[in-house]
């Protein structure tokens, strides 16, 4: 019989006795300290370890940027700011948190379609680099720069003529709201050259949640080729090249952690040629979930245990209103389970097959469907792992008017 695929083991969380440990604190003790369930807990030492491991693997000259939309919790942002080389933001709200955390504006870039004039002006005033998503945005930022008497720092976000294969989310190639189509970039570069704009370089982000090194390598190579080709039309030397990221983490049964070595080897091989073609360039990658996703857990409490026609349900106080992604409603085509652990009876026997659901009156409110867990009773804690990215901030908190979760950094 074929063995059922399993979740990859957690990279950072251990079980001691019967308790899931969160940064050296047993889950049950942490819940008491936090004072409520549900809550998200992020482990700062796990984040540090992830950034440092990545840095040791990648070529030294690659800058590591944090894509803040993965997790904008201010304390986490302040922590990661001391470990990464820069930030990529996608709203004025994120800009405020990054600046509050002490991030150097020169190391922040601002992407995202539909930036308002107010957002563009704020970015220009702060001196951060704006990744232009359209010709219209270029015109508007130019006018704003003239009005403020500040020379805007701009990069062109390119919608490439290729896509990142095998990605959880494709964000480039074909018709997209993101970036300027590659074939239109030369004309925009000429326009920029005729204006008082500080041209910095290119932003080419092609996709997200990718676990296939060969797909990431192919996209990196195509990105370098495209950037070098476009640089021929640039008004000044390319000083900055953001090659995107897309590094995935294992969420579902059968998925394995990304093998970084071939990606790093390819970057090593390509960088000398890139430097020859673009002598002033600083190359950066931008990563969100890869830096923080595995460093977070979502903990909720069992409220009721019930059996319906032979199927056992653990009804918890947590659910899709706090953790949309784990419920399967954040871009999944076929619903699969995130890894879940009985956080306060982690090694209990005998295990039973249960479905973990939330308190919302909708069949979409599932945290884990038909999983084997140690015996659970009301008052016990259930942990959803791999929850450090796209959890709290990517969930519809107001749905069904339930209480908010809290977030802690331990
Ligand atoms: C969402 C996004 C990211 C982060 O993606 P992850 O999968 O979290 O690494 C990076 N860059 C851009 C432009 C994005 O839109």
pLDDT digits (tens, 9 = 90+) for 210-260: 999 999 999 999 999 999 999 999 999 999 999 999 999 999 999 999 999
Q: Which domain holds residue 328?
A: 15-42+293-409
Distance set, CA 139 to CA 7, 108, 125, 299 (Å): 49, 21, 17, 47
Q: Which atom of ligand 1 is nearest to the CA of 171?
A: 15
pLDDT in tens, 186-214: 999 999 999 999 999 999 999 999 999 99
Closest CA to 318 of 406, 393, 409: 406
Percent of the chain at pLDDT > 70 equals 100
pLDDT in tens, 280-324: 999 999 999 999 999 999 999 999 999 999 999 999 999 999 999
297 and 356 within one domain: yes
Helices (H) and strands (E) in the chain, counts: 11, 22
Residues 108/113/119/125 CA torsion (nearest 10 deg)? 40
Q: Work out the pLDDT band at 70, boundaries 50, 70, 90.
A: very high
400 and 340 within one domain: yes
336 and 213 within one domain: no
pLDDT of residue 171: 74
Q: Work out the pLDDT band at 1, boundaries 50, 70, 90.
A: low
Q: Report strand pairing: 108-110 vs 406-409.
A: unpaired
277 and 229 within one domain: yes
109 and 227 within one domain: yes
Q: Which residue has the tokens 């944090």?
A: 66
363 and 263 within one domain: no
212 and 323 within one domain: no
| 242 in any annotated domain | yes
Q: Which atom of ligand 1 is nearest to the CA of 389?
A: 8
Of 69, 246, 258, the one to substitute when testing ligand 1's pocket (max ligand atoms within 8 A of C-beta) is: 69
Nearest CA to ligand 1 atom 1: 69
Give yes or no for a contact between 195 and 236, defined as CB atoms under 8 angstroms apart. Answer: no
| 66 in any annotated domain | no
219 and 152 within one domain: yes
Mark which of 254, 270, 287 sits at the end of a domain: 287
Q: Work out the pLDDT band at 132, boundaries 50, 70, 90.
A: very high
| 154 in any annotated domain | yes
Mark which of 256, 272, 287 sits at the end of a domain: 287
Ligand 1 surroundings by CB, under 6 angstroms: 67, 69-70, 88, 111, 205, 208-209, 245, 286-290, 389
How many angstroms does the Cα of residue 251 sit away from the middle of ligand 1?
Answer: 17
Cα–Cα dist 66/47, whole Å: 11
Cα–Cα dist 145/152, whole Å: 6
Cα–Cα dist 196/208, whole Å: 34
pTM: 0.96
Report the CATH number at residue 25: 2.40.37.10
Task: Examine the pLDDT at 133 and tell me if it is beyond 80.
Answer: yes
165 and 233 within one domain: yes
Max CA pair span of the chain: 73
Q: Report strand pairing: 129-132 vs 180-181.
A: unpaired
Closest CA to 318 of 234, 402, 204, 206: 402
How many angstroms does the Cα of residue 287 sit away from the middle of ligand 1?
Answer: 6
How many angstroms does the Cα of residue 113 sit away from the middle of ligand 1?
Answer: 13
338 and 269 within one domain: no
Average pLDDT over residues 51-60: 98
312 and 283 within one domain: no
323 and 181 within one domain: no
Closest CA to 186 of 246, 151, 232, 140: 232
pLDDT of residue 23: 93
pLDDT of residue 173: 78
């Amino acid at each position: 019989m074929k063995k059922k695929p399993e979740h990859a083991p957690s990279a950072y969380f251990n079980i001691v006795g019967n308790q899931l440990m969160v940064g050296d604190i047993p889950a049950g003790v942490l819940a008491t300290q936090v004072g409520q369930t549900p809550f998200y807990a992020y482990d700062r030492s796990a984040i540090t370890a992830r950034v440092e491991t990545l840095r040791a693997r990648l070529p030294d000259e690659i800058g590591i940027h944090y894509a803040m939309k993965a997790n904008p919790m201010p304390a986490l942002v302040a922590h990661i700011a001391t470990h990464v080389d820069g930030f990529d933001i996608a709203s004025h709200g994120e800009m405020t948190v990054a600046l509050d955390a002490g991030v150097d504006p020169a190391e922040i870039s601002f992407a995202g379609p539909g930036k308002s004039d107010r957002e563009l002006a704020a970015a220009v005033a702060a001196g951060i680099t704006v990744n232009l998503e359209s010709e219209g945005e270029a015109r508007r930022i130019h006018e704003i720069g003239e009005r403020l008497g500040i020379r805007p720092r701009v990069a062109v976000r390119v919608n490439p003529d290729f896509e990142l294969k095998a990605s959880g989310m494709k964000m480039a190639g074909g018709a997209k709201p993101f970036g300027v189509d590659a074939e239109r970039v030369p004309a925009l570069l000429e326009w920029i050259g005729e204006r008082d704009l500080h041209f910095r370089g290119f932003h080419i982000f092609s996709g997200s949640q990718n676990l296939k090194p060969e797909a990431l390598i192919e996209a990196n190579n195509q990105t370098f080729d495209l950037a070098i080709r476009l640089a021929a039309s640039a008004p000044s030397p390319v000083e900055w090249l953001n090659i995107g990221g897309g590094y995935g983490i294992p969420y579902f049964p059968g998925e394995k952690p990304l093998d970084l070595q071939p990606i790093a080897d390819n970057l090593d091989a390509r960088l000398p040629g890139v430097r020859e073609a673009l002598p002033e360039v600083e190359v950066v990658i931008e990563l969100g979930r890869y830096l923080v996703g595995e460093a977070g857990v979502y903990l909720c409490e069992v409220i009721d245990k019930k059996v319906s026609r032979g199927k056992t349900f653990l009804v918890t106080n947590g659910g899709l209103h706090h953790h949309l992604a784990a419920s399967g409603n954040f871009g999944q085509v076929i619903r699969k389970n995130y890894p879940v652990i009985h956080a306060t009876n982690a090694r209990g026997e005998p295990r039973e097959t249960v479905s973990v659901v939330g308190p919302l009156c909708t069949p979409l409110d599932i945290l884990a469907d038909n999983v084997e867990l140690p015996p659970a009773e009301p008052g016990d804690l259930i942990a959803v792992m791999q929850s450090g990215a796209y959890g709290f901030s990517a969930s519809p908190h107001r749905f069904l008017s339930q209480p908010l979760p809290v977030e802690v950094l331990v």
